[in-house]
Structure 1
Amino acid sequence: MKCSQAFLLVGLIYSQLCHSVQTKLEGPYLGQKPPSLIPQAFAPGIVSTKGWEYGGVFTPDMKEFYFLRESKADKKQEFVVFQFKNNNWHESIVSPRRGQPFISPDGKIMHLGKRFKHRTATGWSDIKSLGPEFDELPIMRLTSSINGTYVFDDADREGNGILRYSRLVKGQREAPKPLSKEINTGTWNAHPFIAADESFIMWDGVREGGYGNSDIYISFKQSDGSWGAAINLGENVNTAQWEAAAGITPDGKYLFFSRNTGSEKHPNIDIFWVDAKVIENLRLKL
């Protein structure tokens, strides 16, 4: 081997080793620096890239992060997980897309729209149906509270969808009902999130007075059990582009959502996060 070739080989190995060190993921939240009250793309170049990434959620122990993305190989949507093992985060592909993931507050159920999986001793069960009351509904996202209340979308492709809920009453699942007009106003209402303690609901939709495309809204539960007026999360979270699929991390510290950082013709959907104080700041203004 010539000297120049040897130096080239050593340089390539050194470059690869440096790259490995730079991309090593250690610590909470995939090793990312937490954001302030200004949203930041989550894990740039790792989760949020020049592509389509959507709907990120952590498990309650904060050791698994699930999201959807478009495969660079065939442009099909795939279900991805980062798992914290041996003090490092490891990426793997779970399957092709099977609905939008949400983990129940107790960590025992992975909701996937109208379907779900149970947590087992070895991982997750096969996909199961929620039952006939839900099978015919075009559910994109379903979230649940500690008490087992479901909140989910029932949307068509013309923007006429509404948000519904279903409670557990004496151990029995009640038939889905529409949420109040405070929430079901405007168009494209979808991708709801109910707080674990049922103190608020977030969703995205298009309303008068919004910032352009789909914005994220919140409604706080009132002392009489009703839902308060919809509040736009404001110009730091919402833009003239599309924001959707908001949710709070299980530790209550951060708000995650998806945003189109491209254009309508050439979208680039990324996952963003921001300090959850943005919600408490809105509550304090009421």
Structure 2
Amino acid sequence: MPSLLRYALPLVVCLSPLAAAAQTAAQAGAPADGPRAELFAPGVVSTAANETSASFSADGRTVYFMRGDYASADTTILTAQRNGQGWGRVRTAPFSGRWRDSEPHLTPDGRRLYFVSNRPPAPGAAPVTVVRGGQSFPGANLWYVDARADGSWGEPVHIDGEINRLATVYNPSQAANGNLYFSAVREDSGGVNQLYLARREGQGFAAPQRLDIGVGVKANRMDPAIDPHERFIVFAGNEGDSRGAADIYIAFRAADGGWGKPIALPGEVNSVWLENAPTLGRGFGELYVTSMRPQTVEFPKRGDDPAAIARRIATPLNGSRNLWRFDIGALLRAHGVEEAPAVAQR
């Protein structure tokens, strides 16, 4: 898998205390066979804060991700750069930092970046909000920025029309043909998140269609990550066999053009803790997952004091959301999915 190795992450080779703790946390209660977990860029991208939704530039050297507080009430899209020593130069994305922005997704050709925001959909409009139980909360609409000729990003563009008619639209993921997948709570979603497809239509999108997948609307499904060639889709949810609050599933394209039965990803991908926001890396089989898995604690402890507690809370494995990397290449090949040619730059 040369392409996967090309984007191998600069994780600690020797088992430092943090790496050993991450390995223990990843393996706690996980099946022996299947993809193994690697904490992504510990201390740089994966920190004591909440991080989710890794999305990589076409050359694999820039990652966009979300960082926020423990409640994810205040979130911002950041970037980090890869160099010979690993990942560094964490910065706020040029289009983020003022609103509740999250869930960045770079298109397969790397020329457009979608994201979610509560910012006003038009000049002079109010921020996007959700009213539930008499309380108002920041809502979510889909936006995008296009790459300029000099490599910078243009001004954010709101997707007008049916996709953003409601204020509960999340996690965009676009295939190479322009079809846009996302999760949302809509009138036909059963009161929970479901997966939707808005097909590319001219310069815009057709009305969203709910994906007919799995056990129907009685299951909560969110955070789609579509294969650029639409051969499979990865998402978070509970198909009735989740080990935690939500697990990561994969569904393969069926011969009739529909979707096969969702399969909970094996190995260390899922845990008894929350997993969500899966994204695909640039290498074949490269998968990034957000997980709340903490460092495993054995009792009795040696004895805590305020300084020890503070040190533990200041590490990535404090129960916050972190980004973890997996290789699901073997699973893809077992289902007939092989590495496809790279998507051409526009």
TM norm. shorter chain > 0.5: yes
Equivalent residue for 2:183, pick from 130, 141, 153: 153
1:14-93 counterparts in 2 under 5 A?
28=7, 31-32=10-11, 37-70=35-68, 76-84=74-82, 89-93=88-92
How far 1:197 sits from its partner (Å)?
A: 0.5
Tell me the secondary structure at the aligned position of residue 50 of structure 1. Answer: coil
Equivalent residues of 2:36, 2:267 under 8 A apart? no
Q: Do the aligned residues in 2 keep the contact of 1:155 with 1:162 (CA within 8 Å)?
A: yes
Relative distance call for 1:277 and 1:29 in structure 2 (3 A) is closer
Q: Spell out, residue by residue over 1:139-170, the C-alpha distance to the aligned partner (whole angstroms, 9 max, x if none).
A: 110100000111110138x9612111011256
Offset, 1:187: 3.1
Letter in 2 for 1:54: T
TM-score, scaled relative to structure 2: 0.66
Give, in angstroms, the shift of residue 281 of structure 1.
5.9
Would the alpha carbon gap of residues 122 and 214 (structure 1) be closer, same or farther in structure 2, given more than 3 Å must change?
same
Per the TM alignment, residue 92 of structure 1 is displaced from its structure 2 partner at its CA by: 1.2
Name the counterpart of 1:275: 327
The answer to whether the aligner puts 1:124 opposite 2:156 as a matched pair is no
How far, CA to CA, are the matches of 1:59 and 1:206 in structure 2? 30
Deviation at 1:175, TM superposition (A): 1.0
**Cα distance in 2 between the residues matched to 1:184 and 1:152:** 16
Deviates more, 1:100-109 or 1:132-141: 132-141
The alpha-carbon distance between structure 1 residues 233 and 68, as it changes in their structure 2 partners (threshold 3 A), is same
Alignment RMSD: 3.1
- Measured after TM superposition, the shift of residue 201 of structure 1 is 0.8
Contact persistence 2:178–2:200 (CA under 8 A): yes
Task: Note if contact 2:105-2:113 (Cα within 8 Å) is conserved in structure 1.
Answer: yes
Task: Determine whether 1:213 maps to 2:269.
Answer: no
Q: Work out which of the residue numbers 108, 112, 115 in structure 1 matches 2:111.
A: 108
Establish whether residue 141 from structure 1 lines up as the match of residue 171 from structure 2: yes
- CA separation of 1:183/1:247 partners in 2, compared to 1, >3 Å: closer, same or farther? farther
Deviations 1:18-62 (A, max 9, x none): xxxxxxxxx955633699931111111111122211111111111
Q: Which moved more, 1:146-155 or 1:186-195?
A: 186-195
CA deviation map 1:202-240 (0-9, x unaligned): 111123122121001111001221111111112521111
Distance 1:247 1:271 in 2: 10
Taking CA–CA contacts closer than 8 Å with sequence separation of 6 or more, which of the two structures ends up with the larger relative contact order?
A: 2
Q: Is the 8 A contact 1:186 1:206 kept in 2?
A: no
Which stretch of the first structure deviates more once superposed, 228-237 or 28-37?
Answer: 28-37
- The share of aligned pairs that are identical, in percent, is 23
Task: Supply the distance in 2 between the matched residues of 1:107 and 1:197 (Cα, whole angstroms).
Answer: 15
Equivalent residue of 2:282, what SS?
Answer: coil
Find out whether 1:193 has 2:192 as its counterpart. no
SS in 2 for 1:279: helix
- What is the CA–CA distance in structure 1 between the aligned matches of 2:280 and 2:155, rounded to whole Å? 26
Task: Please list every run of 5 or more consecutive structure 1 residues that lacks an aligned counterpart in the other structure.
Answer: 1-26
Contact 1:143 1:193 in 2 (8 A): yes
The count of aligned residue pairs is 255
TM-score (norm 1): 0.78
